[in-house]
Structure 1
Amino acid sequence: MIVFWSACALLLFLACLAFIVPIIRDKKPSQVDRDELNKVFYQGRMQEIEQDDEQGIISDKQSVITELQRGLVDDVTEQSAPQSRVSNASTLVPGVIVLVLLCVGFYLQFGSHKQVSHWQQVMADFPALQQKMIMGQGAAPTEIEVDNFMLALRTQLSEKPDDATGWLMLGRLAIAVRDGQLALDALAKAYELDATRSDIRVPYAQALLQSGEPLNIKTAENLLVATIGLEPNNLQAWSIYAFMALQNDDFELAIARWQKMLPLLQDDPERLQMVQGSITYAQQQLGEKVAEQAPQKAADIGHEYTVSVQLDPKVMLPTQGYVFIFAQMVNGPAMPLAAKKLPLGDIFPLTLTLSDADAMQASFKLSQQAEFKVKARISIDENASVAAGEWEGVSQPVQSGETDTIKVIIDQQM
């Protein structure tokens, strides 16, 4: 603030100089300078008269001298007459006063002095706002207090840009007031400063998810998966992860993720009830979705094959991921004839059915094959492509119309 007022004073001083200098330069020669000129002129003229007298050019020397003296007296008399010209000082002082008043008036009318005063007051109240916002002292903060706190926090961050906790706090407040771009920018800065903190990764994932951009959503999912892998009991990460599935209308996946939270909420009855309500809502939506889909005729579905999937004891399941169950031709393209994807959990041994209803393409179905095989693969993400380290199992060749349960044991590491 000192710099601001110093700059204002300097500009005002320069403006005054621009007004004063031309007046000073316009100053006329002083009376002393005029007297000196008259004296030099008189002495020079007297020398000329003496020379003319010696040469006999003039006949009456005394009359010429008298005339010269009379002219000098007349000039001195004119200089002594009252001057109508206003002195420099009488013009300069009022002019400077008017200039200063104009500058101050324009600033008060068109400047940002009110905003500056408000900012100064906010910075003065910042310690008290910190106690209220962070420590929760006193009544709940009002919307104006939240805005003031964010203003002071942004000022502080401009002076300390490496404060990851400050950027995190600003991002969380921006999410609360629904300022998506500010939240994304602030949390991206916090993540850039310290990517190891889960309390930064999770709200950053939330801001990315709320942006709606496909690339940001994928980045958010990766952040949540990484956080849950490191901290399986991170409730905030699981909550956002479940909401992501709900946002995609994947109600089954949302239910599975919320169910992961239930054992972690036994000591928080209020939040437990909220999650149970979310599960009920997703189940209702799932039921409506199924009811809206017209049931396919048996002829369209074709024969249903029952598949049983089991794990070999040596298989170590990841903390989260998916299991893909799909049918392929025994000798032919690797494209699945039918496929299902389920979230991992306490689901093994797993029993399900495959039919033409699970076909990937309408022109490429199980019912068209005389023989096929069934595979089951565990993946840590939603990518069905084979990755090193994943576990897989494959059945014996299955004949078309098989009625016995098809058994698949996951026992091969890729």
Structure 2
Amino acid sequence: MRRSLFLTVAAATTMVLLAMLVPMAVLLRSYVLEDRLAQAALEVQATETIVSSGDTGRINLYLEAANAGDGPLTTVVWPDGRTIGPEPAAAEATRIAQARATGTARVDDVDGGSVILVPVSLGRSTAAADETPVVRVFVPAPGWESDLVRSWAILLALGLVLLAGALLLADRLGRSFVTPMRDLASYAARLGVDGHPTVPPPGGPAEVHELGVALHRLVGRVETLLERERAGIADVSHRLRTPMTSLRLGVDGLASPDERARLGADLDELQATVDAVVREARRSEREGLTGVVDGVSVLAERVGWWVPLAEDQGRPLDLRVEVAGPVVVRAGADDLVALVDVLLDNVFTHTPDDAAVRVVVGAAPKGGVRLVVEDAGPGLPDGDVVDRGASRGGSTGLGLSIADRTASESGGRLELGRSTRLGGARVVVELGAG
């Protein structure tokens, strides 16, 4: 918008200046020509006085002095063809003869300027045409003389100053529109990412001010709705704990150990699901709309948390970090922890205790982090494992769908296959760069 306004004002101002300055420059040139013609008329009068005396020597001296400068060039043309001064062009012979015959002065445009022709009476009562000399004054057209060039330069400088002033005004006007809108756009882009970004002060034109006020009001309403939703979910979670506690007491009172174990596992899974739903509902409050975290450190640390369990089972667990330094990904720390828990829980639950596990944390081809989990178990079953899979180890209760959702929300992908190195399942999760 600012650039468009700047270019529009520049184009409009340039057209207006050209419409004004070009005619003024032509008018200045006309004024210079008229001034020269006026000077030439005075020169004609002085020459006419000298020529009327009939003294050829005096005429020669006068014309030599008159033609010595840069002004008009004066010539006296006698009836017999003699000339004193610069020789006129052959094309002017007809005009000179007409002026002599009519006895009337005339001004004609010729190449390079104008010519004034004035017949001169020699003082007799009746002068015949063949006895009348003609004074010819050639007035050159204005060229690149210093005075005219200086006037044109002043006009050009004035035009440039006006253009610069108009562009400066357009830039200030555009900035008064663009800066408040850019602040509002930056504020809107940070919503949900930076927690509670600083609200820009309403400013700019009335329309932009109204937009800012409406946006602030909308943000307040959304925050109120989100807060009510979080409070409602927390209230539901709190209300569920009492009946769940009663159920657990009832399960503990069962006589059959198998029934107690089965129902207790179901209650544990239900409790984990409720906790996961509450954490998910409050995640935006903690991390913003899109969380960002160092994926390498979080993934490596969480894999290390599983090492003691692998050692207890006698399971070889090989962790390799193939990327140096922190790599920020578009995911929250809780999401990455749940991702590792799901993948390793599936391995520990569905493979023999001595089946090897290999975890590689590297760089993704398009930026971000690439997590590869391979095992020496029987591999993944046929079918849509992502949709139907569910972890029964009590970690999250959401199965491989957590891995798929975490990968897709970060801008990455989930790939399932068979490991050529260990022979079992191979899960690849690519997390998009933050």
Larger radius of gyration: 2
- TM-score bracket, shorter-length normalisation: under 0.3
Q: TM-score if structure 2 supplies the norm length?
A: 0.25
Q: TM-score if structure 1 supplies the norm length?
A: 0.26
Higher relative contact order (CA 8 A, sep 6+): 2
